[in-house]
Structure 1
Amino acid sequence: MKIATYNVNGVNGRLPVLTRWLRESAPDVVILQELKAPQDKFPRGPIEDLGYQAIWHGQKSWNGVAILSRVGEIHETRRGLPGEPGIGQDPPQSRYIEAAVNGVLIAGLYLPNGNPRPGPKFDYKMAWFDRLIAHAAGLVETGLPVILAGDFNVMPTAKDVYKSERWTDDALFAPEVRAAFARLIDQGWTDALRTIHPDETIYTFWDYFRNAYQRNAGLRLDHMLLSPALSARLTDAQVDRHVRGWEKSSDHAPVWIELADDPAG
């Protein structure tokens, strides 16, 4: 089974890019972030025309998450984290969605950016991250096969950023944020990309400015984490880097993994 995550950076504005990639790459399950579309403006029709079912947690502005599947029914289990913190938003920010698909629990997220740091946006990022870590611990304890995937807005190590010294004051590379990611991993999650590419310079995001993509001045912000019950099934993990070079593409590239069939299934 091929499962992908993609910060599409505006699902309606990037719909030609998204549908082209879906046809070309043909993932079985897709987790989308940054829909930038209210609930009633999600492009359900064009996505269903490609053979995908969809659930989504939409919101105008920069939020919104979705799960697509072409291999089985999507059984939604949660939208929003339990006890999710807020900073006065009404409605709350749309950053988390969870569903069972084809025997795997899919948890899709869009972690807050947190800039500028310090400040209320950074405090919100850390509070949200704490709630994610608490919920993720419960997911691991279930013993179920779980994928925790999306745009974490975290560069875990210096290997995950071009010229890390330039990011020392940024919320995406803050010591507290990287420590929180490490606490999450320590619950038993497997970082799929780093497992397959332990030493490779591999990025998932390139800024629109300063020819970042052409210079490969990127960041690794998009992660796919596998629970202990699922990690042994990982056979491949890649970034569709070329998609970032398409006209009017997102500043992120899709990340995908391949899972072997469940021997128990």
Structure 2
Amino acid sequence: MSDPQEVISGGIGDLHSLKAIVTGGGSGIGLATAQLLAARGADVAVLDLNPAAVQAPLRRYTMNVMDAAVVDAAVRIAVRDLGGLDILVNNAGIGAIGTVEDNDDAEWMRVLDINVLGMVRTSRAALPHLRKSVHASIVNTCSIAATAGLPQRALYSASKGAVQALTMAMAADHVAEGVRVNCVNPGTADTPWIGRLLEQAPDPAAERAALNARQPLGRLVTADEVAAAIVYLAGPSAASVTGTALAVDGGMQGLRLRPKGR
């Protein structure tokens, strides 16, 4: 268990002595989050299907969120090596493209298994350890797709809508145990997954321009910007924040701008 005075004495944003697990931390938002947690003083374990890109001081472990036994073992070993657990970042997930007609039942089951049940399995394995912490926090990576209707994202949006609802239910279930639960809803983020999508487009430059224009700020969200929001919610600076979905989306969720020239 972390000493609250030891953490507070380091100043706002200091995560010294805290222990964190980040799933899906091998690249993109997850890796940026793990690196920022470590830079703020946390001891961080990255659990990923392919953690080859993870470098010290981050600890790395191979884990498939689709296998409950593997999840239980990976979390147990990571917590043992960390010497406890204060923060869980549920970031592992995959994308999906298409309307409701474009993916068969097997693909729906696969995406929901990873994006939703993956968080369930990891949280279930982590909660017994989190309850021992005085700074226990879970942050789920959700998406603007949970609250905005986006074309060609039916399956992905359904999975992220479930993540946001799951976040609120978990926050209610565990608030009395001292475990805060929040989620971050990124807009379209400039990650390797988006890069692969752009490469498949007939005109990648035009597709990137369209994605930029969809967000009021006029550009994609960066992984580092999303990581900053996750780390804020994860740490003691957000001690009174639970059951919250924090949009990091360039204004996409809340702003309704006039077309240019009007």
- Whichever structure has more strand as a proportion of its residues is 1
- Whichever structure has more helix as a proportion of its residues is 2
Shorter-chain TM band = 0.3 to 0.5
Highest Rg: 1 or 2?
2
